[in-house]
């Protein structure tokens, strides 16, 4: 197979591992910077011009699209799909996952547990918004934030009102979310490939930090998920429309609660924590789907 890996940096751990896993299984792997792709549309069909040539002959594409370039990145993925190339992560799923509000709506519709979430059009009645989310302490999240950035813990009513009013004044779109105290600054990342959990880790925020992201200095450990956690993670990935996903959950008194469904989960933390060949699982997933198309 000829596989395109959409990545802006060939030296990133995740990109290197995907190339290595593909080549180990006898496939050709090409790292393509999606921001340098020209999308061409005409009557004879869609095409992609890259550097000094047209891209052709690809069997599959693995998108590694950063949140800051979601619009153009998903347009390139969509173009590959139009060219009948199998995408390991569909363009529609990427769009759904990057919009925190939309993703939350999809999960709610599917009956999947999540912290109570409230979104308004810059409501001046901030007290009611905070009350609807369960009261202080509450989490306030920018809709565009990633890796724990743009996330604030307001520990009391006064702080919550002040922060929400400040965001509203800046016309920044935020969601207000219930704070799950019993999680104790930890969450679970379940890595899903083709409807199966292929690895899971528990991430613990550093002392005094409520965010557990490894980018924020958190630590990780291997974890055996409960049957309920496995079921919720798989259902969440399916609801958002992702064949590959990192599903982040909190362990709460009322069961697992989904925080986020990530369409471009990093491989470094999960592989080093679980000692599993996650990149290999992704290539196997592609092999099955390309074979079924032929």
pLDDT tens digits along 26-61? 999 999 999 999 999 998 899 999 999 999 999 999
pLDDT value at 293 more than 70: no
Q: Are 216 and 205 in contact (CB under 8 A)?
A: yes
Task: Extract the tokens encoding 122.
Answer: 């810059």
Q: What is the mean pLDDT of residues 147-151?
A: 68
Residue 94: what pLDDT?
96
Q: What is the pLDDT of residues 232-268, one digit of tens each?
A: 999 999 999 999 999 999 999 999 999 999 999 999 9
Count the neighbouring beta carbons within 10 Å of the beta carbon of residue 11. 8
Confidence band, pLDDT 50/70/90 cuts, at residue 151: confident
- 161: number of Cβ within 10 Å: 16
pLDDT at residue number 92: 95
Query: Which tens digits make up the pLDDT trace of 176-205?
Result: 999 998 888 889 999 999 999 999 999 987
pLDDT at 279: 98
200: left (phi over 0), alpha (psi -120 to 50) or beta: beta
Q: What is the mean pLDDT of residues 212-239?
A: 85
CATH architecture under which domain 2-89 falls:
3-Layer(aba) Sandwich (3.40)
The candidate with the shortest Cα–Cα distance to 39, out of 77, 66, 90, is 77
List the structure tokens of 29: 């792997």
pLDDT at 212 > cutoff 60: no
Over the stretch 92-117, which tens digit does the pLDDT of each residue have? 999 999 888 899 999 999 999 999 99
- Average pLDDT of the segment spanning 155-162: 91
| Gyration radius from the chain CA atoms | 20
Would you state the pLDDT for residue 100? 85
The yes-or-no verdict on residue 133 having pLDDT over 80 is: yes
What are the domain boundaries of the chain?
Answer: 2-89, 117-179, 182-263
Handedness of CA 195, 22, 146, 275 (dihedral sign): positive
- CATH number for the segment(s) 182-263: 3.30.470.20
Task: State yes or no: pLDDT of 150 exceeds 90.
Answer: no
> Which residues does residue 256 pair with via DSSP β-bridges, in sequence order?
251
pTM listed for this prediction? 0.88
Question: In 10 A of CB 45, how many CB atoms?
Answer: 10
Do the domains 182-263 and 2-89 match in fold?
no
pLDDT at 148: 55
Q: Whole-number mean pLDDT of the chain?
A: 91
Q: What is the pLDDT of residue 294?
A: 56
| Token pair in block for residue 209 | 């930090």
d(CA 115, CA 258) in angstroms, rounded, equals 7
Contact 31, 5 (CB under 8 A): yes
pLDDT for 193 = 98
How sure is the predictor about 173, in pLDDT bands with cuts at 50, 70 and 90? confident
Helices (H), the chain: 13-24, 70-82, 91-98, 100-109, 126-132, 157-169, 227-240, 268-274, 278-293
**Inter-axis angle of helices 100-109 and 91-98, nearest 10:** 100
CATH top class, domain 117-179: alpha beta
């Amino acid at each position: 197979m000829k596989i395109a890996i959409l990545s802006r940096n060939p030296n990133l751990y995740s990109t290197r591992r995907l190339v290595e896993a593909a080549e180990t299984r006898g496939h050709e792997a090409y790292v393509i910077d999606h921001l340098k792709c020209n999308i061409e549309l005409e009557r004879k069909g869609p095409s992609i011009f890259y550097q000094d040539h047209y891209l052709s002959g690809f069997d599959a594409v693995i998108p590694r699209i950063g949140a800051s370039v979601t619009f153009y990145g998903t347009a390139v993925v969509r173009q590959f799909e139009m060219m009948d190339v199998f995408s390991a992560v569909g363009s529609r799923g990427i769009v759904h996952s990057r919009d925190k509000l939309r993703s939350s709506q999809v999960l709610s519709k599917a009956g999947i547990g999540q912290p109570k979430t409230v979104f308004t059009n810059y409501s001046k009645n901030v007290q009611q918004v905070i009350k609807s989310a369960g009261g202080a302490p509450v989490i306030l999240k920018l809709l565009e934030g990633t890796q724990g950035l743009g996330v604030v813990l307001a520990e009391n009513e006064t702080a919550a009102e002040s922060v929400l009013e400040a965001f509203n004044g800046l016309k920044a779109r935020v969601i207000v979310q219930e704070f799950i105290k019993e999680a104790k600054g930890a969450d679970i990342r379940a890595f899903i490939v083709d409807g199966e959990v292929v690895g899971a880790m528990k991430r613990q925020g550093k002392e005094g930090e409520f965010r557990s992201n490894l980018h924020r200095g958190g630590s990780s450990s291997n974890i055996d998920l409960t049957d309920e956690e496995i079921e919720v993670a798989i259902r969440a990935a399916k609801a958002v429309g992702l064949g590959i996903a990192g599903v982040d959950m909190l362990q709460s008194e009322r069961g697992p609660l989904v925080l986020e469904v990530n369409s471009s989960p990093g491989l470094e933390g999960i592989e080093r924590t679980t000692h599993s060949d996650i990149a290999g699982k992704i290539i196997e997933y592609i092999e099955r789907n390309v074979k079924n198309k032929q």
